Amino acid sequence: MKTGMNLLLWTGHVTEEHYPIMKDIKAAGFDGVEIPVFDTTVDHYKKVRKELDNLGLKCTTVTIVSPEANPISPDANVRKAAVELLKKAIDCNQALGAESCAASSGGRMKRSRATAVTRGPTSWRTEEKRIRRRAAAVIPL
C-alpha cells in the first residue's frame, strides 16, 4: 500500500514555497502527495512535476468544479463549461504525471438552488457516461 499527504493542508496552489514541505513529507516516509489543481496553467504544473521527480514523490490531484461549470447542470452551456474545465484539469494531471484525479463540487452545488439538480442514481449514471465519453476523447481508455 502507498501513502500520501494532501497538500490542501497547506495551500490551494502549490508553488516553490511549498517544496520544503514536500521534501519533509518524503522524509517522513510518504510515497506521494495530492496536489490541488484549481489553476489550469499547464506550464506551472510541469515545474511542480520536476520537483516531484527530484524528490521521488508520486502524486494524485483534486480539482473543484464551480456552479458555473457544473457537469450535471440542466443547462447545456454550463455542462459544456464543465467539460472544458475538466479537459484543462486533465492536461494539468498529465503534466504532473498524476495517477488519478478527484473532482469535487466542494459542496457548493448542493447548497445552491440556482444549480439544483435531480439527485439519484439516474442523473449520476447519465453524467458518468457523459464524462467518460469526453475523457475518452482526451485520453483513450
Amino acid type, 24:
D
Q: What is the pLDDT of residue 134?
A: 63
Residue-wise pLDDT for 58-101, tens only, equals 999 999 888 888 888 888 899 899 889 999 999 999 999 998 88
CATH of domain 4-138: 3.20.20.150
Question: Helix 76-96 and helix 42-55: axis angle, to 10°?
Answer: 30
Q: What is the DSSP letter of 39?
A: S
Q: Enter the pTM of the model.
A: 0.74
Percent of the chain residues past pLDDT 90, beyond the cut: 54
Amino acid type, 44:
H
Question: Helix 121-138 and helix 76-96: axis angle, to 10°?
Answer: 50
Q: What is the pLDDT of residue 66?
A: 85
Residue-wise pLDDT for 25-47, tens only, equals 999 999 999 999 999 999 999 99
